[in-house]
């Protein structure tokens, strides 16, 4: 019943950082006198840095220096996570379980690789991952399939023999386009008709997904490590 490999998204799926990212984006908007777009964070979810900068060009007023805005936002985000990177429910315990079962794991994230590795290390998850494929390693970010194709190749697994876990529409589209069966664990974006059509399952959390996939049974539950400090 186990797949040959598991490929995880990172932000909002393994680590509970989307809320931090949204809050620091809003703060940066106000700091740059662009409060009128502070509620537009949803457009940035699942996008790589290059795509986010293109969105900034459309969203932000002309007086805002886009590169300075981008740097200020990312610096503030990392500063908020300098001591503790909060986990999503069951993230560490599922990684531990899959590791014990001998299932190789990878991360396919729109975040730049060095930043992703830093956050995973601070969260105590980096050691479980055979590969981390960041948005800077591929030509096109999510929803293009490049990240998932690269991640599957990096761990020598055919896409159709892996399982992906995603929290965003962009990520679900990317995994689906790559031929990787994908599980949707909603974070800031709720499941809708599109995700229910393209994901093989929608689950409230990683533990429920593992039960739904038949990896666990109802009598066995992973330890919840939500907001567990490193």
pLDDT tens readout for residues 133-173 = 999 999 999 999 999 999 999 999 999 999 999 999 999 99
What pTM, to 2 d.p., does this model score? 0.86
The reply to whether 222 falls in a domain is no
- Do 128 and 32 belong together in one domain? no
- Do 89 and 180 belong together in one domain? yes
Q: Which among 33, 53, 80 is the end of a domain?
A: 80
Write down the H helix ranges in the chain.
18-31, 49-59, 66-80, 91-100, 113-123, 146-154, 169-178, 193-198, 206-212
- Do 69 and 89 belong together in one domain? no
- Do 195 and 181 belong together in one domain? yes
Q: Please name the residue that has the structure tokens 């539950």.
A: 221
Q: How far apart are CA 19 and CA 3, in angstroms?
A: 30
- Do 22 and 9 belong together in one domain? no
Q: What is the pLDDT of residue 76?
A: 95
Residue 67 banded pLDDT, cuts 50, 70, 90: very high
pLDDT tens readout for residues 165-223 = 999 999 999 999 999 999 999 998 889 998 889 999 999 999 999 999 999 876 567 77
Domain count, the chain: 2
pLDDT tens readout for residues 23-46 = 999 999 999 999 999 999 888 887
Which residues make Cβ contacts (< 8 Å) with residue 156, sequence separation at least 6?
none
Which domain range does residue 11 map to?
5-16+85-212
Which residues make Cβ contacts (< 8 Å) with residue 86, sequence separation at least 6?
15, 16, 17, 123, 226, 227, 228, 229
The reply to whether 208 falls in a domain is yes
Q: How far apart are CA 64 and CA 32, in angstroms?
A: 7
CATH of the domain at 167: 3.40.50.1000
């Amino acid at each position: 019943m186990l797949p040959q490999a598991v490929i995880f998204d990172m932000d909002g799926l393994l680590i509970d950082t989307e809320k931090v990212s949204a809050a620091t984006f809003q703060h940066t908007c106000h700091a740059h006198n662009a409060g009128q777009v502070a509620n537009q964070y949803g457009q940035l979810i699942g996008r790589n840095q290059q795509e986010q900068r293109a969105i900034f060009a459309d969203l932000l007023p002309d007086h805002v220096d886009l590169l300075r805005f981008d740097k200020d936002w990312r610096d503030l985000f990392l500063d908020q996570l300098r001591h503790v990177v909060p986990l999503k429910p069951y993230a560490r315990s599922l990684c531990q379980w899959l590791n014990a079962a001998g299932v190789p794991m990878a991360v396919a994230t729109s975040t730049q690789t060095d930043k992703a590795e830093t956050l995973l290390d601070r969260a105590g998850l980096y050691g479980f991952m055979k590969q981390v494929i960041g948005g800077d390693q591929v030509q096109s970010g999510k929803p293009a399939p490049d990240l998932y194709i690269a991640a599957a190749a990096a761990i020598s697994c055919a896409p159709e023999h892996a399982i992906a876990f995603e929290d965003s529409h962009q990520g679900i589209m990317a995994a689906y386009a790559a031929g990787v069966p994908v599980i949707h664990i909603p974070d800031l974006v709720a499941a809708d008709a599109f995700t229910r059509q393209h994901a093989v399952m929608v689950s409230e959390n990683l533990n429920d997904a593992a039960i739904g996939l038949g990896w666990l049974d109802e009598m066995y539950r992973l330890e919840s490590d939500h907001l567990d400090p490193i």
